[in-house]
Structure 1
């Protein structure tokens, strides 16, 4: 295939991305600059509000904690799965990805049953006499984090399994021969080789958590707004589409910058030779 033919074949895809991705973004961005007070007055007004900063901070906190928890759970699981026999690994991969085939709304409503006052968690804790009254887990930041971890853990594991398959076992054996403990080998030998997969998973989980709507809406309620649910509130409840557009653009910029920074960090940490 020559260069000219390849360019012609790429044109339909380029037009599709332009029409269905960039054009809607432009349509969202234009109203945010149409204010009598000034070009960036709506953004300045948003950033002056302490309430908006609280929502933004909550979104960041939930996303960062979710990334940390998913990473802590995902690394050992992915290492164990990646070192199984091919048939076993394929079955385990299928089981890990299977929950993603279920609608997120259904999964989140299941967590309402689990985390509610009469849910499984409170019943077990009461039966073990660890608590005297049911805990208020539902409609808190903790419930959003739990739902987000459950939602994005398969993505992190899937991102890491590919890197686990490329691990150099001989380096681990050499470390063991030299007297390295299993924990030291994990942090000094194994994890550095998983850097690319870890950062890729962190990008996907952070961006997904920051922009998620269903989980915070169902498990967080109206008292624990995040950026995505705030957009819905401004647009559908208050009918203020201009403010909703401002929040949307800020959320897009934050997610894009976070992904760009993590990608740069991944390129900096990936010291593999580029030339074969």
Structure 2
């Protein structure tokens, strides 16, 4: 295929992306700059509010904690699955991805049953006499993090399994022969080889958590708003579409900037591994 033919074939895809991706963003952005008080007045007004900064901080904190917990849980699971035989690995991978076939609303309502004051966790803790009164887990930041971890853990595991399966076991055996402890081998030999896949999984989980709506809405309620639920409140409850557009664009900028920083870190790690 020559270059001219390739360009002509890419033109429909280019216009498709332009129409269905950038055009809606432009339509959202235009009203945010149409204010009598000034070009950036709506953004300035939004960022002056301490409550809005609390929502931004809560959203970012939940996303970061979700990434950390998902990585801590997903790494050992993926290491174990990746070392299994190919047939077993495929079956386990399907089992991990199976919950994603269920609607997120259904799964989050299941967590309401588990985390509620009369839920399974509180009943178990009360029966074991570990607590005297039911814990308030539901409709808190903790419940949002639990739901987000459950939602995005399969994505992290699925991202890491392929890379784990390609690891050279002989390098780990050589490290062990030279006196390296299992923990030292994990942090100095295995994790550096998985750095790119780990950062890819972190980017996917972070982006998904930052922009998630269903899980924060169902498990967080109106008392613990994140940016996605704040957008819904401004647009559908208050009917203030300008403010909703402002929040949406700020969320896009924060997510894009965070993912760009992680990609830069991934690029540097790739170069370091190549030079090594």
Distance in 2 between the 1:172 and 1:20 partners?
A: 48
Deviation track 1:36-81 (CA, whole Å, cap 9, x = no partner) reads 1111111111111000000000001100000000000010000101
Q: CA deviation at 1:6?
A: 1.6
Is structure 2 residue 248 aligned with structure 1 residue 248?
yes
Q: CA deviation at 1:166?
A: 2.4
Q: CA deviation at 1:92?
A: 0.3
Distance in 1 between the 2:34 and 2:239 partners?
A: 17
Give the structure 2 partner of residue 11 of structure 1: 11
Distance in 1 between the 2:113 and 2:154 partners?
A: 22
Deviation track 1:203-227 (CA, whole Å, cap 9, x = no partner) reads 0101100000000000000000000
Give the structure 2 partner of residue 50 of structure 1: 50
Any conservation in 2 of the 1:211–1:228 contact (CA below 8 Å)?
yes
Any conservation in 2 of the 1:112–1:138 contact (CA below 8 Å)?
yes
TM alignment of 1:58-97, pairs within 5 A: 58-97=58-97
Deviation track 1:174-208 (CA, whole Å, cap 9, x = no partner) reads 11001111111111111111100110001010110
Give the structure 2 partner of residue 233 of structure 1: 233
Give the structure 2 partner of residue 224 of structure 1: 224
Give the structure 1 partner of residue 179 of structure 2: 179
Give the structure 2 partner of residue 123 of structure 1: 123
Distance in 2 between the 1:103 and 1:11 partners?
A: 35
Distance in 1 between the 2:94 and 2:241 partners?
A: 41
Any conservation in 2 of the 1:35–1:42 contact (CA below 8 Å)?
yes
Is structure 2 residue 22 aligned with structure 1 residue 28?
no
Give the structure 2 partner of residue 140 of structure 1: 140
Any conservation in 2 of the 1:141–1:224 contact (CA below 8 Å)?
yes
Three-state SS of the structure 2 residue aligned to 1:246 is helix
Any conservation in 2 of the 1:163–1:196 contact (CA below 8 Å)?
no
Distance in 1 between the 2:181 and 2:78 partners?
A: 20
Distance in 2 between the 1:268 and 1:85 partners?
A: 33
Q: CA deviation at 1:5?
A: 1.7
Q: CA deviation at 1:168?
A: 2.1
Deviation track 1:225-273 (CA, whole Å, cap 9, x = no partner) reads 0000000000000000000000000000111111111111000011344
Give the structure 1 partner of residue 200 of structure 2: 200
Provide structure 2 residue ranges, at least 5 long, that are not aligned to the other structure. none
Three-state SS of the structure 2 residue aligned to 1:146 is helix
Q: CA deviation at 1:2?
A: 1.7
Give the structure 1 partner of residue 263 of structure 2: 263
Q: Count matched residues.
A: 274
What RMSD over aligned residues (CA atoms) do the two structures have, in Å? Answer: 1.0
Three-state SS of the structure 2 residue aligned to 1:130 is coil
- Which ranges of 4 or more aligned residues in structure 1 deviate by more than 4 Å? none
Provide structure 1 residue ranges, at least 5 long, that are not aligned to the other structure. none
